[in-house]
Chains A and B, each alone.
Chain A
Amino acid sequence: MSLLHIMILIPFIFAIFVPLLYKFFNPRIHTGWFVLIIPVIIFIYLIRFIPGISSGETMYHSMAWMPSFGINFDAYVDGLGLVFGLLITGIGALVILYSIYYMSKEREALHNFYVYLLMFMGAMLGVVFSDNILVLYVFWELTSISSFLLIAYWYQREKSRYGAQKSMLITIFGGLAMLSGFIMLSMMTDTYSIREMFTQINVITEHHLFLPAMILILLGAFTKSAQFPFSIWLPDAMEAPTPISAYLHSATMVKAGIYLVARMTPIFGGSSEWFWLVSGIGLITLLYGSINAVRQTDLKGLLAYSTISQLGLIMSLLGIGSAALYFGYGREADLYVVAITASIFHMINHSTFKGSLFMVVGIIDHETGTRDIRRLGGLMTIMPISFTIAVIGSFAMAGLPPFNGFISKEMFFTSVLEASKLTEFNMETFGILFPVIAWVASVFTFIYSMILVFKTFRGKYKPEKLEKKAHEAPIGMLISPIILASLVVIIFFFPNIIADYLLKPAVASVLPSLAEGGIIDMKISAWHGWNTELFMTIGVVVLGGLMYMYLKKWVGIYRLYPQNMTLNQLYNSGLDHAQGWSKSLTDGYMTGYIRDYIAYLFGFFILFIGGTLLVTQSITLDFSNNAPVNVFEGALVLAMMTAAVTVLFAKTRLTAIIALGVLGYLVSMFFVIFRAPDLALTQLVVETVTTALFLLCFYHLPKFKEHTKRVPLKPLNLVISIGVGIIVTLFAFSANGTRLFDPIASYYEDAYELAGAKNIVNSILVDFRGIDTMLEIFVLCIAGLGVYTMIKLGLDRREK
């Protein structure tokens, strides 16, 4: 176990102590202060890796978990993992700091909140630092589960539960698809290690499971990263407390899908399917998210759709960049390396500006009591610091200078322009769509960014519509968004610090074959001269600005879309139908009558045993080694049949019980004939006691009712029971006809030497299989206790 493993596990371990800390220190000290230590320590620990990683090193530690299955807890740090690790812990620390002021220690169940949060943090670190795909999968599902718990944190609210269930159903569906994709990958390569898979890329690309595995793994990534059409869970996930929305549903968890796509790029990248799926779905999501964000009236809803849109942007960049692997070396490849760089760069930028925006929205919600744009307005003078942060965040989101979003947006335009010139992958026909979609989506992005700032902070202050009197947030709540907003500006002016230390190693792990060629060289600058990209941005600003000003005139278009054709409607009706269908199906066979269940059991018995006998053709009718039958034995068999039939047709209970007793004694006589003296003795004793017991209970049980004196004739039951009888007989025939092995009984014939006993049966019971017998006695004891309890206890009271 190395420090790396401890780093991944420490959030889980610390989570155990959170309830205790809460119990002892709340409400004197906010539990968040203790929790804050964890991400800070891990962040500092990870920072120390930067120099090594940026000079091309990687770190690998293995810990045996199930070595016989090739499943080990392999922790692996490379450039890509490190970027995510820093985001997870860095944003995590800021969010926890923010939550200390956001979550009231008097009213909220903080212990639950922070346990879930730490669980998520550990799981997320596990996802990005695992080399073993099965371990990765386990952590992946853990993030889904902790996200479920956090969305349903205010579980009293129906919408929270709805959102939690929705996110759970969709992301777990994707997770399971991803697991099957992973299993296919391991079938192709015979390993669970991602790094070992990289060495067998030729095997994978030529395998017939290549495409199914790719699609299944992409399903996992797309559901997690809320790509169209799986994006519907993200807006409903906004029911979670705002720190959680900032952390899980914009900065980290939804980027796990991005991580997966980036991680799998060396394996699948370079194929046209991968290029089209990833960039196509990404672009559709980008457009879908940005158009839908404009119509939102809830600030968090707007941010949710904007997150969907931005995730689509990052995804499409990864898709475009995968073309670099197609070209291998040379100038073309270089152009597509820009796309990968842009995607990771934009992901970092998105985490900074979107994180700060979420926190500002949380502040507005906290201080005014509403997030509804229609009720907000004129907050600029009341909340100047929040306003400044919102401006920085929104302008970065819109892609304006001097903020980091501008640079990555320009790089995005470069990439789509480059992609449209691509002559491979059928891009000659559709290539032009790439820059068009990108540009249109950017216009809408500009519009909703403006709505976010100006509808809330400008305009008329409407105190009568607010639940609280608005005022600026406490400084503690502002620290985190201020830090993030400063980063937004700093990254704009010094992009190459990020590029050298974080982006370069990260891109190297996405495109390892190019990194080995040593051609990944990047210089990011804010100013590229008067090129097409800049004119595109200017166009976005002009058209976006005009459309924002005349928003009221055209926003009605959204109402033209039929309400019953939305994806949500599809999901809801699908869920309702599935529930109704499964209920009617279950009601159909779960009748509540035990008799029916027994009939199912016997029916299954007939079908399964009979079917197996038929399918394997093992019915044999070989009577050659039969023992002879003498008259006495024949008479006994006849007598037993008569006794059994008498039990069936007896009109009074006494007859039935006596017939059963007769049957038991006849069986013990059989044991005598067949040289089993011990059995005969035991059977005699047991039969006597049982008959006495039957007679005792008979005294208390009611008589057979008049209309059921005779056993009622039920054709179905008759068929089932005759079927069972026939199957058993056939089974016995076949077993007698085929002797596959010699009996092992000869071993026990040395009982005297082995156990000092002359009675073989007894020595088996008390010596060879002594423990079995002991457990049998135990069963008898339990039965005895049951009998005693049911006769003695509690009955008197009820009878009274």
Chain B
Amino acid sequence: METLMSILVGVFFAIGTYLILTKSLLRIILGTSIISHGVHLLILTMGGLKTGGPPLLGLDSLSFTDALPQALILTAIVINFATTALFLVLSYRSYKLLGTDDTSQMRGNEDE
């Protein structure tokens, strides 16, 4: 399972990177989302898969899966949500102001 997950994560990273390297703002945001999914799965895989019950003490399991990666991922999901929202609104705003969603046309001042 871990091997399969590692390959999956690699595919996510490759697709995400390719999308980030395109010009369209929307595709860039899609790319970052895919990469962050990849990161979550990677952290989860690193903790070891299915080595015990869910990390809840009230249940009758003798051992638990590693709770630390889960806490990290939980944080990552929330932060990722915040940044995605910010990116989306940023691209919306820049489209409104600049009239393009093509990053290669978003040049700065004259004297750059």
Chain A residues close to B by CB (< 8 Å):
592-595, 598-599, 602, 623, 625-629, 633-634, 637, 640-641, 644-645, 647-648, 653, 656-657, 660, 663-664, 667, 670-671, 673-679, 682-683, 686, 689-690, 693-694, 697-698, 700-702, 704, 708, 711-712, 714, 717-718, 720-722, 724-726, 728-729, 732-733, 735-736, 743-745, 748-749, 751-752, 757-761, 764-765, 769, 772-773, 776, 779-780, 783-784, 786-787, 790-791, 795, 798-799
Contacts and interface: CB of A to CB of B under 8 A. Distances in A.
Contact of B30 (A633, A660, A749): A660
Contact of A686 (B41, B58, B77, B101): B77
A673 B74 CA distance: 16
**The 3 nearest A-B residue pairs measured at CB:** A725-B14, A729-B10, A732-B6
A726 B2 CA distance: 15
Given A598-B21, A732-B10, A790-B92, A676 B65 contact: yes
A786 B1 contact: no
Contacts of A720: 17, 21
Nearest to B72: A764
Given A686-B77, A693-B84, A728 B96 contact: no
B14 A647 contact: no
Given A627-B49, A759-B55, A647 B15 contact: yes
B46 A700 contact: no
B38 A728 contact: yes
A721 to B, nearest CB: 4
A637 B8 contact: yes
A675 B71 contact: no
B100 to A, nearest CB: 8
Contact of A760 (B11, B26, B56): B56
Given A717-B18, A760-B56, 7 more contacts: A626-B1, A627-B49, A637-B4, A644-B34, A700-B92, A725-B13, A729-B9
21 contacts: A627-B1, A629-B4, A641-B8, A647-B34, A667-B41, A670-B41, A675-B52, A675-B65, A682-B74, A690-B84, A701-B26, A711-B18, A718-B18, A721-B14, A721-B15, A745-B68, A749-B55, A761-B67, A780-B78, A790-B92, A798-B96
Contacts of B90: 786, 790
Contacts of B82: 779-780, 783-784
Interface string B26-37: 110110011001
Contacts of B88: 693-694, 697
B95 A595 contact: no
A627 B89 contact: no
Contacts of A795: 93, 96-97
> Chain A interface mostly helix, strand, loop or mixed?
helix
A143 to B, nearest CB: 37
B58 A758 contact: yes
Contacts of B6: 729, 732-733, 736
Nearest to A718: B18
B22 to A, nearest CB: 6
B33 to A, nearest CB: 6
B57 A724 contact: no
Interface in B40-74: 40-42, 44-58, 64-68, 70-71, 73-74
A674 B85 contact: no
Contacts of A675: 50, 52-55, 64-65
A711 to B, nearest CB: 6
B104 A660 contact: no
Greatest chain A CB density within 10 A among B5, B38, B45 is at: B5
A733 B8 CA distance: 12
Given A641-B8, A749-B64, A711 B57 contact: no
A565 B74 CA distance: 69
A645 B15 contact: yes
